[in-house]
Amino acid sequence: MSDKSIFDWFGKRKEATVTDGTRDHAIAILDAVSELKNALKCMENGDVAAALKGAERLILSEREADRMEDRLCAEISRGELSVQEREDLISFVRKAHKIANWAKEAGIHMQLVVETSTSVPKDMWSELGKMTGELITEVKFLVAAIESIMANQKETLRNVDAIYDQERIIDGCYFSAIKHAHLSDMDPKAVLLVTEMINSIEMAADSGKSCADTIEILIVSRGI
């Protein structure tokens, strides 16, 4: 594909889809992940009502991000790029949105914990919250990478490296949390639901890394 034409498109007027739309979409994704973190903190503190409200806000945030994704992909489809370039950019947007989808998935399983009156210890909620906090940091680096992609591509690569670092940190959290869950005294239903939350957060982190891979390929392939 022609990397030059993609980067020309990234650099169009301020109102251009990628310069504004992709950043706004990433911020909406960040909002969804932040709502998950807040809901998990409420569960840790024993405030179930607040946690459920947080889960509802998470779902609303994901829906808003989903609407933005659809508008963004439609705009890309009407762009001046080649078919392959449009497919590559749409794929990037879809990868980014998977972060919000997986955050929602974790929130749904948190709701199931409440709805099934399943007992999950406080330290397990704390570990889930820590993992999600690291995910928030990863998404912030993704937002920064998108913001800098035209102005300072070396800075973009530094943000990409930071995303990779965060994904490795989350991998460590994942193994620790899985071990914690399976060695705990929780009943099988609790272990299942907690494991689903852990896996969802891990998958969100993997989606962020996939976005970083795409950005790095776009930049490095141009010899920068």
Residue ranges of domains in the chain, CATH in brackets: 17-220 (1.20.58.220)
* pLDDT (0 to 100) of residue 13: 41
Is the dihedral angle over the CA atoms 45, 47, 50, 56 positive or is it negative?
positive
Torsion of CA 193, 197, 202, 203, to 10 degrees: 90
The conformation of residue 22, written as its DSSP 8-state character, comes to: I
Phi/psi at 185 (5° precision): -95, 10
Q: Are 100 and 135 in contact (CB under 8 A)?
A: no
Chain mean position to CA 55? 16
Q: What angle do CA 221, 97, 2 make, to 5 degrees?
A: 25
Amino acid 14: pLDDT: 39
Cα–Cα distance, 126 to 37 (Å, whole number) = 10
- Give the pTM: 0.90
- Contacts of 69-78 with C-beta under 8 Å, sequence gap 24+, read 69/25, 69/93, 69/94, 69/97, 71/21, 72/17, 72/21, 72/22, 72/25, 75/17, 75/21, 76/17
Q: Are 120 and 186 in contact (CB under 8 A)?
A: yes
Q: Which of 106, 43, 32 is nearest to 68 (CA)?
A: 32
Ranges in the chain, pLDDT < 50: 1-4, 9, 11, 13-15, 223-224
What pLDDT score does 8 carry? 55
| Alpha helices (runs of H) in the chain, residue ranges in sequence order | 3-10, 23-44, 48-77, 83-115, 122-148, 153-183, 188-220
Length of the chain in residues, anyone?
Answer: 224
Q: Would you state the pLDDT for residue 15?
A: 39
Distances (CA, A) of 218 to 1, 18, 44, 58: 10, 14, 41, 31
Tokens encoding 209: 């890394």
H or E segment at 47? none
Q: What are phi and psi of 73, to 5 degrees?
A: -65, -35
